[in-house]
Homo-oligomer: A and B are copies of this chain.
Amino acid sequence: MEKYVYMFDEGNISMKDILGNKGANLSEMTNLKLNVPYGFIISSHLCKKYNSKKELTKTELNQIISSIKKIENKTNKQFGNKDNPLLLSVRSGSSVSMPGMMDTILNIGMNDDILSKMDDKRFGYDLYRRLIMMYSDVVKGYDKNKFEEIITKEKIRKNIKYDIDLDIDSLKNITFEFKKLYKMLSKSYFPQDPYEQLIESVKAVFNSWNNERAIFYRKMNNIDDSIGTAVNIQEMVYGNLNNDSLSGVIFSRNPINGSNELFGEYLINAQGEDIVSGARTPNKISLLKKKMPMIYDELYYYSKVLEKHYKDIQDIEFTVENKKLYILQTRNAKRTIDASIKVAVDLVEEKLITKKEAILRVNPNEMEHLLHNEFDKEELKSVKVISTGLGASSGCASGRIYFDVKDAKKVSLLNEKCILVKKETTTEDIEGMKICEGLITQVGGITSHAAVVARSMGKPCVCSIENIKIDYNNKQLITGDNIKFNEGDYISIDGTNGIIYDRKIKTTNKKESEYLKKFMSYVDSSKKLKIYANSETITDTKNAIIYGCEGIGLVRTEHMFFDEKRIFNFRKMILSSNKEEINKALNDLLPYQKNDFKEIFKLMNNKSVTIRLLDPPLHEFLPKDREEITKLALNLKININKLNDRIKSLKEVNPMMGHRGIRLSISYEDIVRMQIKAILESAIELTEEGFSVKPNIMLPLVSDINEFIYIKNIIKEEANLIFEKYNKKIDYKIGTMIETVRAALLSSEIAKEADFYSFGTNDLTQFTYGISRDDSEFLKDYYEKGIFNNDPFKSLDIKGVGKLIKQAVKDARKVNKNIEIGICGEQGGDFNTICFCNENDFDYVSCSPYRILGARLSAAISEIQE
């Protein structure tokens, strides 16, 4: 029979897969001889087994029960013995950290009998009411708020603010009311059998693996649904025993900015849950240094032991029971990306880890939070500070305030930026946090739910803003000065410094820190893949250079036509009925386009620039509403009916699969000729000025080799005319996007003619799935029903689209050794996709400027892991 249960001293860190992180770390700490309350871990294999059958066998139960005996032996307490009661905690813990899963039940084993024998009745009631509430919530799924209400009523009755001020009378009342409520909801008494309490709690933890929020979190973080959770069962120690007891959380270094100092908070006379829930604002750990210096020193010592052992910054839960320190949990700390970078570099310099290890410590998906959020210094001078709080997650953001996740989701669909305003957050708010620009919470410290999740998402967050009021009913935020902000009003928040401003403020890019520079130097010396940028504006191109791009992989020329002056000529061209008019309009556009390219070429001196010929269907350039159409008709001096007819005739049923890409080039050869002129003339002129220009001309949406050859011939013809005109030749490449399935399938034909490939994975994914991204709203049903786990547009579908790409690359390399192969499109900045590209012999990935840092890191990680 499989061994499902491991005592803490039977496990170690290498057994994460079955013990979960929490359990493996508890074992590890036990082995390190830290003062850890004893216990055991039920392996995640039992979770899987239980969740498919929904029952525990007798032998499985026996393994659990005999392990309890071992705790009893170690602690000299007995589970269910009213004279010497052992109480237990039950916590989930999978091999990937999932903060906020509702999965902890404390004080298991408490019952009427034990209470009756306890000397400290206040303490007894406190344990009992906590157990009933957690059990009702986690095991039974009853609404926690109904229990909270009972406490609130009692506090109003007694006119007190915090739970801690509840006296024995109140706690007795509360326990009584809780039991009554439980009886009403469950139609039976609160279970008195400690074993029943325990087993039901274990089952509840198993079940919680498949609750909606957990599924959503895993989806969001690409976590395999099948791993399951382990369950940790541990002797209770009591931070709520008296005023010499406390519960707390510390980080071995500052998780916000990475500085090397103990960081954290604690609550006197409290259980751990009181801190995480954010209900009372805890004390900073620096206060503990004054109040209990011995405990503080011991804590500091442990934190360094653990940091050395794990070679990483630790997030440690502890309890002091009657002046005795217990370590309840340690884990690698979640931190902001800024802290991540600084700690990685510091640990290298402290010689705790190698540069390669440092690289593996930073999450590439968070790199984009590093640079693009700082308020404009000028604008800051004229705005007003509404309030201040704890800077709980760094970064700056502006947005309209919303008090409800649903409302925030609605406006975010309209591309409105919003700031979530909550008293405190719970796991139910995760979806809202995901879509907002940042959030503020009235209560809760830097280890509150809001703070932890915001940091993991890279969203600015300000917590614990005591001088504001939040009125959910009227959807108002009211400042200390009684200024009211209504739903939809703008505010700005600085999560680094904990400041809230009264209006929208422009954000600018943050400067690269010294730490980042050092870190990126580790990265660049470890990676092989080149990182290019997708960019067609001066600003983006400049940013791309700052972020370390090695070339431009995609210039979308059509974006250049939307400028007011140009769009007119472009529309004129589209609406022309004869070749002469078309050429006239194109000639008018040429100088603009030429200038665009010149500016990019100059910035990218010595680096290659890949320019995609006009791609979108022509109707995208025409006005849509009546007023604009009328205006255009007047401007162009054409009959409005004729214009409407033309607009109508250009309409397409499925524009994604219509007259676009190289198909446009074939129908409108003159556009190609104009664009080639713009590219090559500007390149030649700059070469004469001493620049080194490396233009690549990219043909989009090819599905047949004949298309490619036809346009290639036109380009060569035009190029030769230009070279004659200037009496000067320059090198240029002609390549193609591989974004239709057919192009990928027939790669061995196309590669013979193409100098380079850029896989256009957006379209390739759409065509492979037959899913239009614009119409993929229905996929929400897929996630809900577990049919899809990942968004195939976010990260490359390696199984399907990847299969196609892999073969296409092989086929291409076989017939053309020198072909340069890359990828552009949104997936070009995604970690898994970059790993795929690196493994499959790509030359480069190209992504948006803001993702370049992450892409560089991803490339390095992939190379190291390979």
- The answer to whether A688 has its CB under 8 Å from any CB of chain B is no
B800:A746 contact, CB within 8 angstroms: yes
CA distance A96 to B278 in the complex (A): 86
B653:A742 contact, CB within 8 angstroms: no
CA distance A658 to B653 in the complex (A): 12
- The answer to whether A856 has its CB under 8 Å from any CB of chain B is no
B800:A742 contact, CB within 8 angstroms: yes
- CB-CB nearest in chain B for A656: B654
CA distance A766 to B766 in the complex (A): 12
* Pick from B659, B772, B782: contact of A657, CB under 8 Å: B772
Residue-wise, chain A 737-752 has the 8 Å CB interface mask toward B (1 for contact) of 0011110011000000
With contact pairs A667-B781, A746-B799, A746-B800 given, residues A703 and B656 touching in the complex (Cβ less than 8 Å): no
In A650-677, which residues have CB < 8 Å from any B CB?
Answer: 652-659, 663, 666-667
CA distance A786 to B707 in the complex (A): 10
With contact pairs A768-B767, A770-B763 given, residues A656 and B659 touching in the complex (Cβ less than 8 Å): no
- The answer to whether A562 has its CB under 8 Å from any CB of chain B is no
In this complex, the member of A655, A770, A787, A803 whose beta carbon has the largest number of chain B beta carbons within 10 angstroms is A770
- The answer to whether A119 has its CB under 8 Å from any CB of chain B is no
Q: What is the interface size of chain A, counting residues whose CB is below 8 A from a CB of the partner? A: 47
With contact pairs A659-B777, A778-B667 given, residues A740 and B766 touching in the complex (Cβ less than 8 Å): no
- The answer to whether A176 has its CB under 8 Å from any CB of chain B is no
- The answer to whether A585 has its CB under 8 Å from any CB of chain B is no
- The answer to whether A775 has its CB under 8 Å from any CB of chain B is yes
A658:B799 contact, CB within 8 angstroms: no
- The answer to whether A411 has its CB under 8 Å from any CB of chain B is no
- The answer to whether A804 has its CB under 8 Å from any CB of chain B is yes
Stoichiometry (number of copies): 2
- The answer to whether A113 has its CB under 8 Å from any CB of chain B is no
Q: Which chain B positions have C-beta within 8 A of A770?
A: 656-657, 701, 703, 739-742, 763, 767
B741:A772 contact, CB within 8 angstroms: no
Q: Which chain B positions have C-beta within 8 A of A667?
A: 778, 781
With contact pairs A663-B778, A667-B781, A742-B800 given, residues A769 and B654 touching in the complex (Cβ less than 8 Å): no
A800:B745 contact, CB within 8 angstroms: yes
- The answer to whether A378 has its CB under 8 Å from any CB of chain B is no
* Pick from B656, B658, B781, B800: contact of A666, CB under 8 Å: B781
- The answer to whether A706 has its CB under 8 Å from any CB of chain B is yes
A653:B655 contact, CB within 8 angstroms: yes
- The answer to whether A710 has its CB under 8 Å from any CB of chain B is yes
Residue-wise, chain A 715-739 has the 8 Å CB interface mask toward B (1 for contact) of 0000000000000000000000001
* Pick from B653, B703, B781: contact of A774, CB under 8 Å: B653
* Pick from B653, B655, B785, B799: contact of A710, CB under 8 Å: B785
Residue-wise, chain A 794-827 has the 8 Å CB interface mask toward B (1 for contact) of 0001011101100000000000000000000000
- Interface SS of chain A: helix, strand, loop or mixed? helix
A666:B803 contact, CB within 8 angstroms: no
- The answer to whether A385 has its CB under 8 Å from any CB of chain B is no
Q: Which chain B positions have C-beta within 8 A of A766?
A: 657
Q: Which chain B positions have C-beta within 8 A of A801?
A: 742
With contact pairs A654-B656, A656-B653, A657-B654 given, residues A767 and B782 touching in the complex (Cβ less than 8 Å): no
CA distance A787 to B666 in the complex (A): 9
CA distance A777 to B657 in the complex (A): 12
- The answer to whether A189 has its CB under 8 Å from any CB of chain B is no
- The answer to whether A472 has its CB under 8 Å from any CB of chain B is no
* Pick from B654, B703, B785: contact of A654, CB under 8 Å: B654
- The answer to whether A220 has its CB under 8 Å from any CB of chain B is no
B652:A775 contact, CB within 8 angstroms: yes
- CB-CB nearest in chain B for A657: B772
Q: Which chain B positions have C-beta within 8 A of A745?
A: 768, 800, 803-804
A655:B775 contact, CB within 8 angstroms: yes
Q: Which chain B positions have C-beta within 8 A of A797?
A: 742
In A618-665, which residues have CB < 8 Å from any B CB?
Answer: 652-659, 663
Q: Which chain B positions have C-beta within 8 A of A659?
A: 775, 777-778
CA distance A778 to B661 in the complex (A): 12
Q: Which chain B positions have C-beta within 8 A of A297?
A: none
CB distance from A449 to the nearest CB of B (A): 32
- CB-CB nearest in chain B for A742: B800
Q: Which chain B positions have C-beta within 8 A of A706?
A: 786-788
CB distance from A675 to the nearest CB of B (A): 18
- The answer to whether A685 has its CB under 8 Å from any CB of chain B is no
- The answer to whether A771 has its CB under 8 Å from any CB of chain B is yes
- The answer to whether A704 has its CB under 8 Å from any CB of chain B is yes
Q: Which chain B positions have C-beta within 8 A of A656?
A: 653-654, 657, 770, 772
A703:B652 contact, CB within 8 angstroms: no
Residue-wise, chain A 680-715 has the 8 Å CB interface mask toward B (1 for contact) of 000000000000000000000101101100100000
A768:B787 contact, CB within 8 angstroms: no
- CB-CB nearest in chain B for A706: B787
CB distance from A598 to the nearest CB of B (A): 32
A768:B781 contact, CB within 8 angstroms: no
Q: Which chain B positions have C-beta within 8 A of A663?
A: 778
CA distance A703 to B666 in the complex (A): 32
With contact pairs A663-B778, A742-B770, A800-B742 given, residues A788 and B704 touching in the complex (Cβ less than 8 Å): yes
Interface residues of A (CB under 8 A from B): 652-659, 663, 666-667, 701, 703-704, 706-707, 710, 739-742, 745-746, 763, 766-772, 774-775, 777-778, 781-782, 785-788, 797, 799-801, 803-804
Closest CB pairs A-B (n = 4): A654-B772, A657-B772, A658-B775, A740-B770
Instruction: Show 24 residue pairs from A and B whose CB-CB distance is below 8 angstroms, ordered by the A residue.
Output: A653-B655, A654-B656, A654-B657, A657-B769, A657-B772, A658-B771, A658-B772, A658-B775, A658-B778, A659-B775, A659-B778, A663-B778, A666-B787, A703-B769, A703-B800, A739-B770, A740-B768, A741-B741, A742-B797, A745-B800, A745-B804, A746-B799, A763-B770, A767-B770
